[in-house]
Structures are given as C-alpha cells and as structure tokens.
C-alpha cells in the first residue's frame, strides 16, 4: 500500500554542480578500524504552513539511521555556525568546514493534507560540492519514517558505496512473560523497531518467521493444531494457510527459495528429522536428505542453486552445503564446538551461524567454504542470525540467564563492531530481515 504512495525521483532543478565522487567524502567499510565520519543534519526547512515540525522529525530519523551504523557521528545543531534557512540558498561551506562537518544533509519539507513532500541534497563539505543530485521523495504522512529511511539510504549509499538497508522491515517473534510461561506472537516492524504490528495472537506457540525474498509473504511454524506445522502468511492481507500437514509428522524450520515458489523445511517422522522441499503452488514435496541424523535449518544461496544446513551426522551439529535438489553434502564447519542455524548472506559471500563452544553461544560468519571463520558476539545465549539486505549487518536474539531471563533482538556489524539492542516494545526472538522496500 505504502509502496505505491511513495516514489523516489530525481529533482530536475538540480544545478550543474560537479559531483565529487573522487573526493575525500568516502567511507571504506571494508577497512579494519573506522573513525566515524562527522555529518551535519540540520532540520529540514519547512516550506508552507502545513510543514509543522515534520522537518525536525525526519532529520532525527535520518540522524539515528546514520549514526546507528557506527560509521557516522552527528555534529549537534548547537555547534552550527550557519543555519540552513532556505533550500535554494547557497551552502556556506566555510561555516560547515569550521565545525569539521565532512558531510551536510540539507533539505526541505512541505505538507498538504496527508501528502508529504521532501527534497534534499547531500554536500561534500571539504570538496565544496554536492555529492550526487538532489532528490525528491513524496508520500503520505503515515509513511514519513520511510521517507526518512530512504533519505538516509541515499546518504549511506553515496558515502559508503554500499546499498543502504534502512527502508526495510523485520518479521520476528514478540515475547512476553517468564521463561516457563512465555507467550509468543508474530510481529513485523521497521528495521529500527518502529511501527510494530502483530500478525498473530499468542494462543499457541509460533516460531521462526521467515520473509520471502520480496517481503510479500512470511513462512512460520505454529502449534495451533497441537503439533508444529508450517504456515504461509500474506503480509498485506494477513491471510494464512497451512503448508505441510502430514499426520503423525512435525514440520518446522521453513525458508523460501529465492524464486518464492519453493520452500525448504524440516520434517520429523518418528525420531528422524530430514530436510524436504516443497513447491508452494502444487504442494508437491521431495525429500532432500536421508540420513538418520538431525538435519535442519536449511537456507538457500542467493541464486537458489545450493542449500546450507546443519546436521549431526558426524556426531555433533555441523554445517553442510548440498545442491538445491539434494545429493552429496560437503561439510564446511570444522572448528571446535557446535554449529547451527546457518544463513547465506544476500551477497552470497558469507554464511552466518550460531556457534556453541565451552558453554557460550556466539554469532559468527565464515566464507561459504568454511574458511575465515570469525565470531562476532559472545554471551550466555546468542542465536538465530539474519542478514540486512546489503549483507553488512546481522540481527539476532540474545537470551539472558536464569529465571528472569529475557530475549532481546540485537544487531551487529559483520566486522563485529557496533553491537546494539533493537528497541522493541516487548522481548523478541527469531528475527528475519526483509528486503529493501521499493
């Protein structure tokens, strides 16, 4: 709905300033240590009577997005020498240079009824030039946070050279109550924890929702029949239907293939858990593994040709990669401890996982052949990584110890820096990060 209302277009009035793409305003986020880049984000200039405090609200969200990456540092407005009082007025570069602002995000906002219109420019202060063209974003006031996220995505993308991830959503399990009486329901939110909406009630246990590649549908496991079964839910209509319901079996750990038509999941018959795939349209299913071991947590690579999964066929949980149609699997994890919940990065270069070693849990990443393993976190219980759409950030759940234990969503950069909790109204687990919205 909001997707159609919100459009991104290049401002035609942009003067022919030289874009300073080769200038100093560049964060190379592959480097080991980063000094956050100082950025000034003055409130957007209100244009017309309806603009109210929208300029301030939008600028705050842009600032939170950018500083939340750990790559930017915001210069407080109290330090500003010149104010941006008109979108058309020339930028006083010397004033921004004097306070060491390397980037300046300046814009204007107008509101008519429920229509909001934002235009903005990104300036490379030390080059004294605009970085890229000015942009205009239009939408409804309901979707104002998305406009701010899109602005921040543009700034992030122009300065880092990476695609942004702020205008994205996360589906997760919202949790309340003590450990022995935990109540769980599916919820969807903006990546930063805003705009939480609940997709199910908490009458029965729900687990591990997983977005489709386009973000239109969610697979999850529910106990509403008394037995774990896989459901597919349409995010727009919140209509759902059961996918796999063979009597006497349990099904769980579903995930979409990139084509959105195939689902891989675990099916338990008796003591044995194997990985199956199903065509979501025809309902036809096919068994992909056939050892007596526990085989679960399958995840496709981005082109849908391979599946990474966990198996205890060697005696303990380890990670394996097999062709998407099943067949011989290659073990890729060989470090000390147990490895589970592998998730292929959207870039295809890394696999994130949960590792248990010496009584601690870690979120880690490794190359798809298992090399260059790096642990990003450590705690009593970290679990269930999911990738940001650009493959730079991982969200996961951290459960604290003991009777008062509580599960909270966290995010961490794939360098291991910038570990921070995601602000959700209740506890959270099993996050699944959706695509960048259009």
Partner 1 sequence: MKLKSSILMICAALSVTACTDPARLGGAGGADDPFANGAGGVVPGSASDPASPAYFQQAVGDRVLFAVDQSTLSPEGRATLDGQAVWLLQNADYTAVIEGHADEQGTREYNLALGARRADAARAYLVSQGVQPGRLQVVSFGKERPIEVCSEEACYAKNRRAVTVLAGGLTS
Candidate list 1, 12, 88, 271; residue touching partner 1; CB under 8 A: 271
Per rule CB under 8 A, is residue 180 in the interface with partner 1? yes
Q: Which stretch binds partner 1 (CB under 8 A): 137-145, 185-193, 279-287, 354-362?
A: 354-362
Considering beta carbons, is residue 258 or 342 the nearer one to partner 1? Answer: 342
Per rule CB under 8 A, is residue 358 in the interface with partner 1? no
Considering beta carbons, is residue 93 or 339 the nearer one to partner 1? Answer: 339
Q: Which stretch binds partner 1 (CB under 8 A): 114-122, 220-228, 237-245, 365-373?
A: 220-228
Considering beta carbons, is residue 143 or 342 the nearer one to partner 1? Answer: 342
Considering beta carbons, is residue 32 or 270 the nearer one to partner 1? Answer: 270
- The span from the CA of 164 to the CA of 161, in Å, is 9
**Least distance (Å) between residue 383 CB and partner 1:** 6
Considering beta carbons, is residue 396 or 433 the nearer one to partner 1? Answer: 396
Considering beta carbons, is residue 35 or 181 the nearer one to partner 1? Answer: 181
Per rule CB under 8 A, is residue 401 in the interface with partner 1? yes
Per rule CB under 8 A, is residue 268 in the interface with partner 1? yes
Considering beta carbons, is residue 126 or 227 the nearer one to partner 1? Answer: 227
Candidate list 67, 92, 163, 356; residue touching partner 1; CB under 8 A: 356
Per rule CB under 8 A, is residue 250 in the interface with partner 1? yes
- The span from the CA of 266 to the CA of 277, in Å, is 9
Candidate list 380, 423, 425, 438; residue touching partner 1; CB under 8 A: 380
Interface positions, 299-338, toward partner 1 (CB under 8 A): 310, 312, 317
**Least distance (Å) between residue 51 CB and partner 1:** 47
- Residue ranges that bind partner 1, judged by CB under 8 A: 178-180, 182, 205, 207-208, 223, 226-228, 248, 250, 252-253, 266, 268, 270-271, 273, 294, 296-297, 310, 312, 317, 340-341, 354, 356, 359, 380-381, 383-384, 399, 401-403, 405, 430
């Amino acid at each position: 709905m909001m997707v159609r209302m919100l459009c991104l277009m290049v401002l035609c009035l942009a003067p022919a300033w030289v874009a300073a793409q080769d200038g100093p305003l560049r964060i190379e986020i592959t480097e080991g240590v980063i000094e956050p880049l100082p950025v000034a984000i003055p409130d957007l200039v209100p244009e017309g009577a309806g603009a109210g405090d929208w300029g301030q609200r939008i600028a705050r969200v842009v600032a939170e997005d950018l500083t939340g990456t750990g790559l930017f540092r915001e210069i407080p407005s109290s330090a500003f020498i010149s104010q941006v009082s008109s979108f058309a007025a020339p930028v006083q570069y010397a004033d921004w240079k004097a306070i060491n602002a390397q980037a300046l995000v300046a814009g204007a906002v107008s509101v008519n009824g429920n229509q909001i219109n934002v235009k903005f420019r990104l300036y490379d202060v030390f080059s004294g030039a605009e970085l890229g063209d000015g942009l205009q974003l239009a939408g409804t006031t309901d979707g104002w946070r998305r406009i701010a996220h899109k602005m921040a995505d543009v700034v992030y993308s122009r300065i880092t050279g990476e695609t942004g991830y702020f205008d994205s959503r996360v589906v997760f399990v919202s949790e309340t109550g003590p450990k022995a009486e935990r109540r769980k329901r599916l919820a969807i939110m903006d990546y930063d924890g805003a705009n939480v909406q609940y997709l199910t009630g908490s009458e029965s246990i729900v687990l591990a929702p997983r977005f489709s590649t386009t973000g239109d549908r969610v697979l999850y496991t529910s106990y509403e029949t008394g037995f774990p079964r896989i459901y597919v839910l349409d995010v727009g209509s919140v209509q759902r239907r059961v996918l796999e319901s063979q009597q006497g079996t349990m099904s769980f750990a579903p995930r979409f293939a990139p084509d959105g038509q195939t689902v891989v999941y675990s099916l338990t018959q008796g003591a044995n858990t194997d990985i199956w795939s199903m065509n979501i349209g025809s309902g036809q299913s096919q068994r992909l593994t056939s050892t007596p071991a526990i085989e679960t947590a399958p995840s496709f690579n981005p082109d849908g040709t391979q599946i990474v999964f966990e198996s205890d066929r060697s005696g303990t949980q380890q990670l394996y990669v097999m062709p998407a149609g099943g067949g011989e699997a290659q073990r890729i994890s060989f470090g000390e401890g147990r490895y589970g919940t592998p998730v292929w990065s959207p870039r295809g270069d890394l696999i994130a996982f949960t590792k248990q070693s010496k009584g601690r849990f870690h979120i880690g990443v490794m190359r798809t052949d298992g090399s260059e393993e790096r642990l990003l976190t450590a705690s009593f219980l970290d679990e269930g990584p999911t990738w940001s759409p650009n493959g730079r950030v991982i969200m996961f759940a951290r459960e604290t110890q003991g009777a008062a234990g509580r599960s909270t969503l966290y995010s961490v950069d794939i360098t291991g820096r910038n570990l921070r909790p995601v602000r959700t109204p209740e506890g959270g687990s099993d996050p699944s990060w959706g695509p960048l919205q259009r």
